[in-house]
Structure 1
Amino acid sequence: MDNETSNISAASKYESLDHLNARYSKALLPLTIFLAILAVIGVVGNIIVILVFSIGREYKNSNFKIFVLCLAVVDLITCVSLIPAEIAKHFHYFSLESEANCKIKCYFNVFGSGSAALTLTLISIDRFRKVYQPMKKQIWPALALKLCMGCILFSIILSWPAAQMCGIESGPMKNIYGGRTVVYLCGAEKKYQKSVWRDVYKYVLFMLQGGVSIVCIFMYIMIGRVIVKNWGDHNVGNTLKFDSSSRSFDSSVKESIVNEVILGPEDVKTSSGGVQIETEQQQEQQPKKTLRKQSSVFSNFSSTSRRLSSNDEAAKRRMFNRQTSGFGFRQFPYKTLIWFILTVIFIITYIIYCGLSINVAMVFTLSPRGFALFAFFFRLYFLNNVANPIIYAFLDIRFRRSCKKIFAMAKHCEFCRRES
């Protein structure tokens, strides 16, 4: 009788895996929709980035182009592999059966984070050298490409242990009836669950992430100090410089107008000694011709002066821009700002990920709502794979211009195809 009672009691506390998955997938639905939006934006955005920087005429062969393409390729791989896999997992979170899928997911997880971390560190080193060692030999595009390939190759090697150690991990989880249901998650293989090598590998990844974060933060702090100092000094100095150059520009323009109008183009001869005017005796030899010439010039004086007065400000601005375009601090450092924002997003999201990874076992005790909140912050690092195209669109006018051109070309090709 007691055995029957205990069996009935145990059966009443049993919850099937299908029912458990249904409850948690319902709680994860907002996160599922959010990840689906990220996947669409990431795939479309990174494809556009690759097209713009590969075939667009706005970008020459530069380090900026190489770094952008490297990050775009890594982000695209993540958006077509990891994010869809995470979305699919939400519908059977606690009943994973395929060990191969688990290993592939772990591999791409480490590969994506490692490639992005090393590439962003390489970018920060390149920015640092341009600011602090501008006169020394810089990283040239061919070397930048080799270094990016090296980062990707190192990440491929670094990811292999993750694929080897990952597997299906089982454990009891409290269900809706207060009982325990055995669940199956993508975790560590049984033989590696208590292995010292798994702990060593985990600490190596944490140290790599921590080291990258410290290096990037230090370098961008130093870069920011120099940019703020030189940007402020330049604005003050160039205001005075521009005013003096404007006055000299105005006087030279006015002098050329007077010489051309009063004397005539043929009467003003420039030499190494300056302006040379024909003598009075030479002018008396052809008085009528000179008078006709001056009368013609005076008739065009009004239109000439108006044209020059409307264009001299634009000419001064063009001359000023040409003078200041060669020095990095004299333009707004939008490239450095782009890399800084992307690095900050990467560091913040992966610090959250690493912190939650330490207490990942707590998912067995969380309610569906608490589990959904945990999963949201745990996978927040997917923002890194989507942020790049958005930030380029906001901060890089050349990127927007190239997108418009490519869309116009695509629209024209579609129109021609329909006409044919």
Structure 2
Amino acid sequence: MTVIPILRFQSLIMETNFTNSNAVSVWNSKLSKILIPNIIVLSLYIFLGIIGNTTVIIVYRFRMRKKSEDRYFIPILAVSDLAGATVCGSFGIALNMMQTEFTSTRLCKAWWFFAAFTQYMSVLLLLIIATQRYLKVCKPQRHQMKQFHKRLAVGLSFGVAFVSAAPITALYGSVDFPNSDGSIIGTRCSKLKEVNKTLTLLYGIVIIIMLLTSMTIMIFFYIRIGHKVYVHFKNKNNSFSSGKEQTSSNIDTEMHTITSVISCGDGPATEHKESNPEIEKYEPEGITPKTKSKVKNSTGSADINKRLVHKFTIMFMMITILFLISYIPKVILIVIEGLNPYFWQNFSDNERPGILFIYRMYIVNNIVNPFIYAFMDLDFRKETRQLLTFKSIASVWK
């Protein structure tokens, strides 16, 4: 006699679960449709990130005939950006499509870890690049970063990024996500509510301090670098305007200055022998043809070398500025999210797409660099054009 009520109770539970599951699916489908514009943007991020950074890796790593230390970090940064655009973009799409049906805790933890790791790696690489440019431009007489130091710095950044991202696996997972009136409860990949709040807050503080410290150091370095470059070109213009008044009595001093400038560059001045129409030229009076030729060649080589150093410095400065613009909104939202555990539940379905777009705008940092290289580095632009020619493409398939 007791079997029938039990069966009815089990049937009622199954029917309730089915009804709730169906309601969650309908709710998830509704949210996913609202987020379609965001999904399209993320898909564009992935496409541009893969195409652009893959091109950078191929060109700088395999096609550049001239190896310059100024370009050392570019392929490494491109690998990090490629991973960041792919992982973070695909993770964002998955979250958009499974707003209320993200049930795999392991997948959630793994995705959060790799997303955090790639972003921390990019930040640390930009910090290393800023440090290297600061030493090269502002402290040329001090010890510079050699090949060993650069490899060590990249290895340390990899280790620090890994250690910094590891705790995130204990903080995130699949959590209950109720709708506005609490009638439907889904699951989403988000911060776990049962985790010790003190540890969560401590981790958030450490990460925020690390990001803000890195940003502050980069801003400080590039302000100093920018001032140094400005003073250099200002003095350069002044020296050219008075260059016609030079006589042979100051040739020795000029040659000494030229030698000093060359020694602060990438290496031997003869590394950059190509002509540069942008370089102003003048001819001091009272010099023999032989001495004039020697000074002219040395001045041209030193000037080209110095200009290349400053050009790459400005290029990396632009990369860092765009990084700051794209990352600051993310940092602000991370702080607000840490202070308010119900941050994401307080938004309506129509407000969520805009917040998510701002939250994921940091991915722009992973896709914009190839466009800066194409704009600033003439050798990269030339090699990319040759890479995309019909003969070059046909040779790959042979």
Instruction: State the TM-score, normalized to the length of structure 1.
Output: 0.74
Which amino acid in the other structure matches residue 211 of structure 1? T
One of 324, 335, 359 as aligned partner of 2:336: 359
One of 312, 321, 334 as aligned partner of 2:311: 334
Secondary structure of 2:144 counterpart: coil
Aligned to 2:44: 37
1:240-255 residue pairs with structure 2 within 5 A? 240-241=242-243, 246-247=282-283
Shift, 1:414, TM fit:
5.5
Secondary structure of 2:57 counterpart: helix
Q: Does 1:196 align with 2:198?
A: yes
Which amino acid in the other structure matches residue 203 of structure 2? Y
Question: Superposition RMSD on alpha carbons, in Å?
Answer: 3.0
Aligned to 1:322: 301
Q: Percent identity?
A: 21
Q: Does 1:186 align with 2:189?
A: yes
One of 223, 226, 231 as aligned partner of 1:224: 226
- Structure 2: unaligned runs, 5 residues or longer: 1-18, 247-280
Contact 1:78–1:385 (CA<8 Å) still a contact in 2? yes
Shift, 1:180, TM fit:
3.7
Which amino acid in the other structure matches residue 76 of structure 2? C
Contact 1:53–1:59 (CA<8 Å) still a contact in 2? no
The C-alpha deviation readout for 1:173-205, integer Å capped at 9, x for no partner, is: 21xxx564223221233441x432121111100
Shift, 1:88, TM fit:
2.4
Q: Does 1:373 align with 2:354?
A: yes
Contact 2:120–2:161 (CA<8 Å) still a contact in 1? yes
Aligned to 1:26: 33
Aligned to 2:4: none
**Quick one: structure 1 residues 146 and 34, their matched pair in 2 at CA, closer, same or farther if it must change by over 3 Å?**
same
Aligned to 2:267: none
Please give the alpha-carbon distance, in whole angstroms, between the structure 2 residues aligned to 1:69 and 1:331: 18
Number of aligned positions between the proteins:
341
Which amino acid in the other structure matches residue 393 of structure 2? K
Contact 1:14–1:179 (CA<8 Å) still a contact in 2? no
Shift, 1:380, TM fit:
0.5
Contact 1:114–1:155 (CA<8 Å) still a contact in 2? yes
Bigger Cα displacement from structure 2, 28-37 vs 344-353: 344-353
Which amino acid in the other structure matches residue 328 of structure 2? I
Please give the alpha-carbon distance, in whole angstroms, between the structure 1 residues aligned to 2:20 and 2:104: 28
Aligned to 1:397: 378
Please give the alpha-carbon distance, in whole angstroms, between the structure 2 residues aligned to 1:58 and 1:16: 61
Q: Does 1:171 align with 2:173?
A: no
Please give the alpha-carbon distance, in whole angstroms, between the structure 1 residues aligned to 2:21 and 2:188: 19
Secondary structure of 1:113 counterpart: helix
Please give the alpha-carbon distance, in whole angstroms, between the structure 2 residues aligned to 1:138 and 1:22: 56
One of 236, 253, 256 as aligned partner of 2:238: 236
Aligned to 1:206: 208
Which amino acid in the other structure matches residue 56 of structure 1? R
Bigger Cα displacement from structure 2, 140-149 vs 234-243: 234-243
Contact 1:173–1:365 (CA<8 Å) still a contact in 2? no
Shift, 1:246, TM fit:
4.3
Aligned to 2:254: none
The C-alpha deviation readout for 1:304-342, integer Å capped at 9, x for no partner, is: xxxxxxxx9x9998665224234x3x5572211222122
Aligned to 1:56: 63
Shift, 1:20, TM fit:
1.7
Q: Does 1:125 align with 2:137?
A: no
Please give the alpha-carbon distance, in whole angstroms, between the structure 1 residues aligned to 2:97 and 2:192: 22
The C-alpha deviation readout for 1:346-392, integer Å capped at 9, x for no partner, is: 22322211211233433223222210000000000000110111111
Shift, 1:118, TM fit:
1.2
Which amino acid in the other structure matches residue 124 of structure 1? A
Please give the alpha-carbon distance, in whole angstroms, between the structure 2 residues aligned to 1:134 and 1:251: 31
Shift, 1:89, TM fit:
2.2
Contact 2:240–2:282 (CA<8 Å) still a contact in 1? no
Moved over 4 A (4+): 12-15, 242-253, 314-320
**Quick one: structure 1 residues 171 and 331, their matched pair in 2 at CA, closer, same or farther if it must change by over 3 Å?**
closer
Aligned to 2:142: 136
Which amino acid in the other structure matches residue 143 of structure 1? H
Aligned to 1:76: 82
**Quick one: structure 1 residues 115 and 331, their matched pair in 2 at CA, closer, same or farther if it must change by over 3 Å?**
closer
The C-alpha deviation readout for 1:268-299, integer Å capped at 9, x for no partner, is: xxxxxx9xxxxxxxxxxxxxxxxxxxxxxxxx
Q: Does 1:410 align with 2:389?
A: no
Please give the alpha-carbon distance, in whole angstroms, between the structure 2 residues aligned to 1:214 and 1:91: 36
Contact 2:244–2:284 (CA<8 Å) still a contact in 1? no
Shift, 1:250, TM fit:
10
Q: Does 1:97 align with 2:103?
A: yes
1:238-317 residue pairs with structure 2 within 5 A? 238-241=240-243, 246-247=282-283
Please give the alpha-carbon distance, in whole angstroms, between the structure 2 residues aligned to 1:352 and 1:411: 41
Which amino acid in the other structure matches residue 21 of structure 1? N
**Quick one: structure 1 residues 54 and 242, their matched pair in 2 at CA, closer, same or farther if it must change by over 3 Å?**
farther
Bigger Cα displacement from structure 2, 208-217 vs 76-85: 76-85
**Based on CA coordinates, which of the two structures has the bigger radius of gyration?**
1
Contact 1:93–1:185 (CA<8 Å) still a contact in 2? yes
Aligned to 2:364: 383
Contact 1:242–1:320 (CA<8 Å) still a contact in 2? no
Shift, 1:159, TM fit:
1.2
Aligned to 1:264: none
Please give the alpha-carbon distance, in whole angstroms, between the structure 2 residues aligned to 1:14 and 1:92: 13
Contact 1:58–1:402 (CA<8 Å) still a contact in 2? no
Please give the alpha-carbon distance, in whole angstroms, between the structure 2 residues aligned to 1:65 and 1:55: 13
Contact 2:109–2:172 (CA<8 Å) still a contact in 1? yes
Please give the alpha-carbon distance, in whole angstroms, between the structure 1 residues aligned to 2:245 and 2:381: 33
